[in-house]
Amino acid sequence: MTQNPDTPAAPSIEDIARAAAAVLRRNDAGSMTRAAPGLYPHMWSWDSAFIAIGLARFDVPRAIRELQSLLDAQWSTGMIPHIVFNPDEPGYFPDFDRWGTARAAARPEGVQTSGICQPPVHAIALRHILDRGRERGGADRAAAEEFARGSLDAWAAWHHWLASVRDPDGSGLVEIHHSWESGFDNSPRWDAAFARIRPGDVPPFQRRDTLHVADASERPTDEEYTRYLWLVEQLKSVDYDDAAAREVVDFRVKDVFFSAVLAVASDVLADLADEFGRTDLAPGLRDIGARFRLGVRSTIDPETQLARDFDVRAGEWIGTETIAGFAPLFAGASAEVTAAQTALLRGERWMGDPRLRFPLPPSTSPASPAFRPSTYWRGPTWPFLTLLLGWAVDRGGDPDLAADLRTASLAQLADLAFGEYYQPFTGEPLGSHDQSWTAAAALEWAGELGVAAG
């Protein structure tokens, strides 16, 4: 069939890579990258790790600067906060004052941050930066190796803080104190836990996120947001003291996906420590990786084959069908578990659903009663998470699945909108456009095919 000459050609992978690099350049705020224009003007912890992966495809020194900015905001406890505020970008809510971290003893002087954290994907980004630097050679190689070597202690402190403070009973599962820490803010994973929360006095607030979308139903509701802010008030009441927070906060959940990321990232960090002769660091990091991998494995529901979260306050498992249920694939698992989870992921409850515009895993199974295709973490697909899954399964020995995810994701991103998330049935980009970590995912997928950003 001859193509209609009036029909514009689909963007090539080269076109996608060039457009993605342009997004990161436009969102560059100097020492940090805005997560997105307008909606997210600051630096988010795990966004910036993925952004660094994308930046490393065309500017290794800038990728290093991205991660260094996060380390400059690291608390004395070892925690890396989930937001680093750009003081030149006022107007975001909740802002630094609302977080109340000015009173937190562990916060570094002169840096404005939130008081909670996000999944520790940073060692994975560090690995990518080092690999890209070595590929390029010369000054890029020297800079990447110097940064990797010099930052190992800081990343190790971050992992050890999570493994001790956030796993006080040694279960191999990270306890989170806010759904924002999971990164899956309004996922149905958290519905039951939030339903039990009765907010106390929450100061008035004016949201800004709903002003940046065409349909407010894409975002969490005001009722959900009130509960989010109530948890902030509880953490503020103890000045973000780690031990005191466990006693006062209403939301205490062992997060299986967060735990999976800690497991695999600890393995990656241990490998880096070995490369640089840090025999004092590598064994402890490998212990963390092994402990949290076992913790993830212990949560698998024998009936559904999905991993589960655990609600500490309620003393019960959370078995909602979300992408977090594939935590063993992210963390690395036995051949038996990997085979069962891969078959499930490729099946009709997930990537094999014939209604999907692209065969990519949604954030919640379309077969779940909790599925809402256009609402944030309740159904849409997230390109950065597809990238992480592809990296993990490739590392785990399934290059075919990784290639399938890459092909489908690049097809999704050929709209050049670089949406924050995508409607899984229509393929419509939702949330903020020109999202930095979405552009970074496109750059990494393209780079794996040998396509440079230019």
Decide if pLDDT at 310 tops 70. Answer: yes
Q: 229: which 2 tokens?
A: 């802010």
pLDDT computed for residue 276 by the predictor? 98
Pick from 91, 93, 44, 42: which is nearest to 203 by CA?
A: 93
Looking at residue 203, its pLDDT comes to: 86
Of 303, 327, 351, which closes a domain?
Answer: 327
Q: Is 322 helix (H, G, I), strand (E, B) or coil?
A: strand
Mean pLDDT, residues 45-58 taken together:
98
The CATH number that applies at residue 93 is: 1.50.10.10
Q: Within this chain, do residues 387 and 431 fall inside the same structural domain, yes or no?
A: yes
> How does pLDDT run across 147-199, given as a tens digit for each residue?
999 999 999 999 999 999 999 999 999 999 999 999 999 999 999 999 999 99
Q: What rounded mean pLDDT belongs to the chain?
A: 94
pLDDT band for 381, please (50, 70, 90 cuts).
very high
The answer to whether the bond into 94 is cis (omega within 30° of 0) is yes
Q: DSSP H helical segments within 249-307, as ranges?
A: 256-275, 282-297
Question: Which of 15, 89, 185, 394 is flagged as catalytic?
Answer: 185
For tokens 């999570």, the residue is 162
Q: Are 103 and 245 found together in one domain?
A: yes
3 state DSSP class of 307: coil
Point out the least confidently predicted range of 25-39, 305-319, 409-423. Answer: 25-39
For residue 6, pLDDT over 70 is answered with: no
Q: Which of 273, 238, 5, 224 is nearest to 103 (CA)?
A: 238
Catalytic annotation present for 72: no
In a domain, 313, yes or no: yes
| pLDDT, tens only, 390-412 | 999 999 999 999 999 999 999 99
The domain boundary, picked from 271, 294, 327, lies at 327
Q: Is 453 among the domain residues?
A: no
Q: Are residues 265 and 306 in the same domain?
A: yes
Distance CA 2, CA 443 (A): 31
Q: Is residue 400 part of a domain?
A: yes
Same domain, 191 and 98: yes
How confident is the model over 213-233, as a mean pLDDT?
Answer: 80
- Whether 448 is catalytic is no
My answer on whether 310 and 360 are in the same domain is no
Query: What are the φ/ψ torsions at residue 123 (nearest 5 degrees)?
Result: -65, -30
Residue 8 inside a domain? The answer is no
Asked if 287 and 373 sit in the same domain, the reply is: no
Range of the domain at 408: 334-448
Same domain, 409 and 344: yes
Residue 277, C-beta contacts closer than 8 angstroms, at least 6 positions apart: none
Q: With bands split at pLDDT 50, 70 and 90, how would you rate the model's confidence at 223?
A: confident
278 and 232, same domain (yes or no): yes
Contact 24, 99 (CB under 8 A): no
Could you tell me if residue 195 is inside a domain? Answer: yes
Q: Provide the Cα torsion 389, 392, 394, 396; round to 10°.
A: -130
- 454 lies in some domain: no
Q: Which residue in 209, 420, 434, 444 is the catalytic one?
A: 420
Same domain membership, residue 380 and residue 310: no
Give the per-residue pLDDT at 164.
Answer: 98
Alpha-carbon torsion, ordered 189, 191, 197, 203, to 10 deg: 100
Whether 269 is covered by a domain: the verdict is: yes
In a domain, 2, yes or no: no
**pLDDT above 70 covers what percent of the chain?**
95
- Please give the average per-residue pLDDT across 84-90, as a whole number: 90
Residue 1 pLDDT > 50: no
How many residues can be counted in the chain? Answer: 454
The reported pTM is 0.95
- The answer, yes or no, to whether residue 361 has pLDDT greater than 60, is yes
Task: Considering only residues 452 and 124, tell me which one the structure prediction assigns the higher pLDDT.
Answer: 124
Q: What are the C-alpha distances in Å from 210 to residues 216, 431, 433?
A: 5, 9, 14
- In this structure, the number of other CB atoms found within 10 A of the CB of residue 29 comes to 14
Q: Do both 311 and 347 map to the same domain? A: no
Backbone dihedral angles phi then psi of residue 421, each to the nearest 5 degrees: -150, 170
Indicate if 25 and 42 belong to the same structural domain. Answer: yes
Mean pLDDT of 273-297: 98
At 3, the pLDDT band (50, 70, 90 cuts) reads very low
Spatial distance between the Cα atoms of 111 and 98, rounded to a whole number of angstroms: 15
Percent of the chain with pLDDT over 90: 90
**Of the residues 327, 345, 370, the one at which a domain ends:** 327
As a whole number, mean pLDDT of residues 105-134 equals 98
Across the range 129-140, mean pLDDT stands at: 98
Section 269-279 average pLDDT: 98
| In the block, residue with structure tokens 């979308």 | 213
350 and 312 within one domain: no
pLDDT at 274 over 60: yes
Round to whole Å and give the CA distance between 410 and 403: 11
- Rounded-to-5 percentages of helix, strand, coil across the chain: 50, 5, 45
Into how many domains does the chain fold? 2
